[in-house]
Amino acid sequence: MPSLRVYRAADDLAREVAGRIKRVGLAVLGLAIILLGVLIAPLPGPGGIPVIVVGLMIVLKNSFKARRQFVRLQRAHPRVISPIRRLLRRDPEFVPMFYQQTLRVERILLPRRFRFVRGARRRFRRR
C-alpha cells in the first residue's frame, strides 16, 4: 500500500536549504577548478584553457549572479568572450577555435616585419 505521508512546510524548507547548499558547494568547486586552470595555464600546451572552461561551466550552471555578470561582460567585450562562449557550447569545435586564437595572438604579438610566419603557416596547411 502506498504511503499517505503529507508533506509539511519543514520538509519543503529542508529541501530548499539542501538545494542552496548544493548550489553554493558546486559554485565553490567550480571556482576552485578555475583557479587550478589558471595555475596550469603557464605550462606548455593548452592544458589550462579546457580546465578553466569546465570550471566556468560549473559556476555558470549553479550561480545566477555569475551568469548575469557573464552576460554583462559578454555585451561589453564580445571579442574577448566569444572564444569562451564557443567552448561552452554543447559540441564545441576545439581545433578551429584554437587556430583562430593563434591567429589573433600572432597579429597582436608579432610586428609587421615578422609576418613571415603567415607564409610559413600557409605552406604548412597546404601540406
Q: Of 4-8, 98-102, 120-124, give the lowest mean pLDDT range.
A: 4-8
Residues 77 and 86: their CA atoms lie apart, in Å, by 14
Question: In which region does residue 45 sit, left (phi positive, over 0), alpha (psi from -120 to 50) or beta (all else)?
Answer: left
Nearest to 58 by CA among 93, 89, 23: 23
**pLDDT value of residue 123:** 73
Name the DSSP class of 115. T
Arithmetic mean of pLDDT, 17-38: 91
- Tens digit of pLDDT for each residue in 47-84? 787 888 889 889 988 888 988 998 999 899 988 788 77
Of 70, 103, 66, the closest CA to residue 87 belongs to 70
Q: Where are the domains of the chain?
A: 1-92, 93-127
Query: At residue 4, does pLDDT exceed 60?
Result: no
How far is residue 1 CA from its own chain's centroid?
Answer: 49
